[in-house]
């Protein structure tokens, strides 16, 4: 399932991120890709220990952990430090699947990637091409969102970034290990949680019945979660 969160960043935050990224030390992005992925990847990125990357990534992590829709969609156990990427004319990332196990920067720990996310940091009219193409159960979906929006999708999906033909596509990408490893289980929980939220907000439903539904949600999490 592909979940879009609009306006994940405020316009002020977006402005601050872009100003910092403008002056950052962009490096060849092929270094961090392994095996086949390295052969199809052409972009630039900030090193994980770059001070600008670290600072912005920490701000993002804090925000992700508090965002109700992201938390509901990902049920995150661990989140990889977000990485900042740029694609200019002629750059692309051919079809690939994200590595299943990733070393976490600045630690000896590893993460199983269950959930991937891309935060768009350039407006769609600032570049041509550069669509994120995600293959799913019902075919491929093209994603090119407004700056500040984020898309969340299963790490198991084959995906690619189509070539940029003009301008610069700037994004942050991240991966999470979910407490709910199975994408379909996660998707069921997300739908249930979203319905409970909207019923709660409608104020039209009996509280005892809502409590019963909420208990079903929590008990499914208890049954399926691995922590």
Q: Residue 24 or 134: which CB sits closer to Ni ion?
A: 134
Contacts of 36 (CB under 8 A, 6+ apart): 96
Smallest distance from Ni ion to CB 42, Å: 13
Site for Ni ion in 25-64 (CB under 5 A): none
Q: Residue 95 or 199: which CB sits closer to Ni ion?
A: 95
Q: Residue 98 or 114: which CB sits closer to Ni ion?
A: 98
Binding string to Ni ion for residues 93 to 132, with x set by CB under 5 A, is what? Answer: -----x----------------------------------
Residue 168, both tokens: 């610069």
Contacts of 170 (CB under 8 A, 6+ apart): 18, 21, 84, 85, 86, 121, 122
Closest CA to 116 of 157, 148, 162: 157
Smallest distance from Ni ion to CB 87, Å: 12
Is 107 within 8 Å of 195 (Cβ atoms)? no
State how far the Cα of 85 lies from the Cα of 28, in Å rounded to an integer: 10
Smallest distance from Ni ion to CB 44, Å: 15
Smallest distance from Ni ion to CB 204, Å: 42
State how far the Cα of 57 lies from the Cα of 80, in Å rounded to an integer: 9
The closest residue (CB) to Ni ion is 98
Binding-site ranges for Ni ion (CB under 5 A): 98
């Amino acid at each position: 399932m592909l979940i879009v969160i609009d306006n994940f960043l405020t316009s002020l935050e977006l402005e601050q991120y872009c100003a910092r990224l403008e002056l950052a030390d962009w490096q060849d992005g092929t270094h961090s890709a392994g095996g086949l992925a390295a052969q199809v990847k052409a972009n630039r990125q900030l090193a994980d220990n770059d001070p600008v990357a670290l600072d912005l990534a920490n701000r993002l992590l804090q925000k992700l952990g508090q965002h109700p829709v992201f938390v509901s969609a990902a049920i995150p156990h661990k989140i990889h430090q977000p990485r900042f990427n740029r694609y200019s004319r002629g750059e692309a990332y051919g079809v690939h699947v994200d590595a299943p196990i990733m070393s976490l920067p600045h630690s000896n720990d590893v993460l199983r990637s269950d959930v991937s996310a891309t935060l768009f940091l350039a407006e769609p009219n600032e570049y041509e091409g550069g669509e994120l193409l995600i293959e799913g159960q019902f075919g491929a979906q093209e994603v090119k969102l407004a700056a500040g929006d984020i898309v969340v999708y299963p790490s198991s999906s084959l995906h690619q970034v189509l070539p940029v033909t003009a301008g610069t596509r700037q994004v942050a990408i991240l991966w999470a290990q979910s407490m709910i490893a199975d994408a379909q289980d996660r998707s069921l929980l997300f739908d249930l949680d979203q319905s409970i939220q909207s019923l709660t907000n409608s104020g039209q439903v009996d509280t005892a019945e809502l409590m019963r539904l909420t208990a079903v949600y929590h008990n499914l999490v208890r049954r399926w979660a691995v922590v």
